[in-house]
């Protein structure tokens, strides 16, 4: 079964990272919105047009402004979650690997360009592991947190440092710190 992470699996990852279980569950609550998969069985993704633009430019590929490719992150809606795979498919027609690296994947919404930090050799291996199960997605998350040195932020309950490292400098616009702190306190009292 693809869906579901039990408390023991969350606890194992908390132990691996060295942080409180409540911190792992808080990140999960904020990032997952309930699942790493869509009702169709597809991996939950969010395609990021500004990341696609950036990596196309780095590869020397001419960019054209469109719904799936623009230079700066916008507060405009990305569309429905169910539309994201369609947007990704359009992008793969321009450049498959760059398109796959330009989406965040699974329950923990890790950007594809972070595949090596998750312990994968290729973007395809990263996607395949995301497709295995939510437990596999949890394992990718643990590898990522340790390999990009965000474990200290979770251990120390440094909500701001974690938000900056995990979601980038624009985390403030979405009140990531407040949401993370509230979720932590919710799980800490359980």
The residue ranges of every structural domain in the chain are 7-37+132-188, 45-105
User: If pLDDT is split at 50, 70 and 90, which confidence band does 75 have?
Assistant: low
CB 91, CB 99: distance < 8 Å: yes
Residues of the chain above pLDDT 70, percent: 97
> Quick one: angle between helices 176-188 and 21-32, nearest 10?
130
Only one residue has tokens 């904020």, namely 30
Least confident segment among 1-10, 52-61, 108-117, 140-149: 1-10
Determine the Cα–Cα distance for residues 153 and 32; give it in Å rounded to an integer: 20
- Binning the chain into helix, strand and coil, the percentages to the nearest 5 are 60, 5, 35
Q: What is the pTM of this model?
A: 0.93
Average pLDDT in the 51-62 region?
Answer: 94
Per-residue pLDDT tens digits for 150-183: 999 999 999 999 999 998 887 877 899 999 999 9
Average pLDDT in the 32-60 region?
Answer: 93
Average pLDDT in the 60-74 region?
Answer: 86
What is the DSSP secondary structure assignment for residue 148, as one 8-state letter? T
């Amino acid at each position: 079964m693809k869906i579901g992470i039990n408390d023991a699996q969350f606890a194992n990852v908390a132990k691996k990272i060295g942080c409180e279980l409540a911190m792992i569950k808080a990140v999960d609550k904020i990032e997952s919105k309930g699942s790493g998969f869509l009702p169709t069985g597809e991996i939950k993704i969010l395609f990021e047009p500004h990341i696609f633009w950036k990596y196309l430019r780095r590869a020397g590929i001419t960019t054209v402004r469109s719904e799936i490719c623009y230079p700066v992150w916008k507060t405009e809606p990305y569309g429905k979650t169910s539309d994201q795979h369609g947007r990704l498919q359009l992008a793969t027609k321009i450049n498959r690997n760059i398109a796959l690296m330009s989406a965040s994947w699974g329950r923990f919404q890790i950007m594809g360009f972070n595949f090596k930090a998750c312990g994968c050799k290729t973007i395809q291996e990263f996607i395949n592991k995301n497709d295995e199960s939510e437990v596999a997605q949890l394992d990718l998350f643990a590898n990522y947190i340790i390999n990009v040195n965000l474990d200290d932020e979770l251990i120390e309950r440094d909500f701001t440092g974690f938000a900056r490292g995990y979601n980038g400098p624009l985390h403030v616009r979405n009140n990531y710190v407040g949401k993370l702190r509230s979720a932590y306190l919710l799980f800490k009292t359980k």
